[in-house]
Structure 1
């Protein structure tokens, strides 16, 4: 099973188009040792030919062009993307669907909550109905147990969605009334080897069922949005703490570093990294601290094989 990180940044990418924080400003000036990043998305395959796209970033066209495996060139019109699976209904994880409108009907896997948001508050489904169309496959979200599924065309891989505590997007009809499935984590398992990856680009709370899933995984690919809880407040970009935005910061008591230190996974990788996060600076103390803890930082084009 191979996973390709198509995009490793949080919404807005890095550098963000309108941001002049220290990271973005220095990146543009060429004085920051860092890698540019597009908005978060991964692709998963067992055979290297048929891929499931997990989240459809607004940067999907750039990501496809940078990933030859997604364009095998077998026919006059072709793609290696066999299906799309969404973790939530956020703009930076869904609007790339519009860029896939020239193809065949899109097999789309998402929860009922996400589907409702994409037919109402952010009506991508009605728009796409005038182009390629969308075939919806509901992802099961159970309160009492976890249910694994297998997707047609993605042979050899089992997917298990986990409900996470989170709010729906601002445009959702139930923004202030959270539903199970507004945001999910995903266990991705190679059926042949039994190896597992736990993927959660938006993770604000380590609930018991989430902790159990993380402890059973061989690789953790999880929320790396903010270094500190007050990062956006301190920089003057927001009045909200990391937790208010559904993200567990890396530093401090109960933070992601402390959580990952308690896990036995062979690989621990942060993804969905905000442009303000000092870990992007490869010369920073925060970057070095992660490496001392055995924590990797995802970058566009990173490949994970299990």
Structure 2
């Protein structure tokens, strides 16, 4: 089983188009040792040809161009993307669906009823696509049972309800529902190896920590280093937790939680905001990640499990 990181940044990418924070300005000027990153998305395959796209970022066309295996060219019009699964309804995770409108058949789309409601009304992407390829929606139920994606029988999936928030456009922004945001367990049926993916995560509960401890790899929210990161830079009046993201540092932060996992679990951060100092490869924060055995996802990274 192979997971490829198509995009590893939070919304806006890195550098963000309108941002002149120290990270973005430094990368543009060539004075910062860091990698540019597109907006977060991953793809999973069991056979190397047919892929499950997990989240469809606004940078999807660029990500496909950078991933030749997503275009196997088995026919005149073809794609390696067999189905799409959405973790939430955030704009940076669903806008790329519009780039898939030239399909000849309805797009298999897996999401919770809560996410399907948001992208059917508040941000009506599924209605728009009905005038193009159409959507074959499959509702995800977070009941602990395994399920499969259409056309991808070699991949076993399980959805886990997470504590986070729906997007700002959602009428439920101030009253989150179970299903607004999920984590995804991907199991290799041949080996039993498991990978847990959660790019948006506000809280690590004891049950979730126990689930993560049973995995070979965890690929989790690395959006902000501190809870007040955006506030200190004068870029927002909201803290990380207000936006549904558990910061890495501080008591009970993501690094504290990851340190509680067994030594054999591979730990990787994804969905990195452009302001996060861990993007700077020479920063003390990046050195702290390395000291704790935590990796930073990058575009094109491949994880076998």
- TM-score, length-scaled by structure 2: 0.98
Distance, in Å, in 2 between the alignment partners of 1:177 and 1:225 is: 22
1:193 aligns with 2:194: no
Deviations 1:91-133 (A, max 9, x none): 0000000000011311000000000001110000111110010
Q: Could you list the runs of 5+ residues in structure 2 that have no partner in the other structure?
A: none
Distance, in Å, in 1 between the alignment partners of 2:243 and 2:173 is: 13
Distance, in Å, in 1 between the alignment partners of 2:172 and 2:164 is: 12
**Correspondence for 1:67:** 67
Distance, in Å, in 1 between the alignment partners of 2:275 and 2:165 is: 22
Instruction: State the Cα distance separating 1:172 from its structure 2 match.
Output: 1.2
**Which among 218, 221, 224 is matched to residue 223 of structure 1?**
221
DSSP-derived class of the 1:156 partner: strand
The 8 Å contact of residues 227 and 249 in structure 1, kept in 2 or not, is answered as yes
Instruction: State the Cα distance separating 1:171 from its structure 2 match.
Output: 1.3
**Correspondence for 2:158:** 160
**Correspondence for 1:13:** 13
Task: Compute the RMSD of aligned alpha carbons.
Answer: 0.9
Q: How many residues align?
A: 303
The 8 Å contact of residues 58 and 94 in structure 1, kept in 2 or not, is answered as yes
Q: Runs (4+) of structure 1 moved beyond 4 Å?
A: none
The 8 Å contact of residues 164 and 245 in structure 2, kept in 1 or not, is answered as no
Instruction: State the Cα distance separating 1:209 from its structure 2 match.
Output: 2.5
1:15-34 matches, within 5 Å, as: 15-34=15-34
**Correspondence for 1:249:** 247
DSSP-derived class of the 1:116 partner: helix
- TM-score, length-scaled by structure 1: 0.97
The 8 Å contact of residues 120 and 173 in structure 1, kept in 2 or not, is answered as no
**Correspondence for 1:151:** 149
**Correspondence for 1:180:** 178
Instruction: State the Cα distance separating 1:168 from its structure 2 match.
Output: 1.4
Distance, in Å, in 2 between the alignment partners of 1:151 and 1:130 is: 24
Distance, in Å, in 1 between the alignment partners of 2:106 and 2:75 is: 17
Instruction: State the Cα distance separating 1:174 from its structure 2 match.
Output: 2.0
Deviations 1:33-81 (A, max 9, x none): 0000000000000100110000000000000000011000111000000
Distance, in Å, in 2 between the alignment partners of 1:243 and 1:90 is: 16
DSSP-derived class of the 1:263 partner: coil
DSSP-derived class of the 2:122 partner: coil
**Correspondence for 2:299:** 300
Distance, in Å, in 1 between the alignment partners of 2:165 and 2:257 is: 22
Instruction: State the Cα distance separating 1:271 from its structure 2 match.
Output: 0.1
Q: Could you list the runs of 5+ residues in structure 1 that have no partner in the other structure?
A: none
DSSP-derived class of the 1:155 partner: strand
1:35-114 matches, within 5 Å, as: 35-103=35-103, 104-114=105-115
**Correspondence for 2:273:** 274
Distance, in Å, in 2 between the alignment partners of 1:173 and 1:135 is: 24
The 8 Å contact of residues 8 and 40 in structure 1, kept in 2 or not, is answered as yes
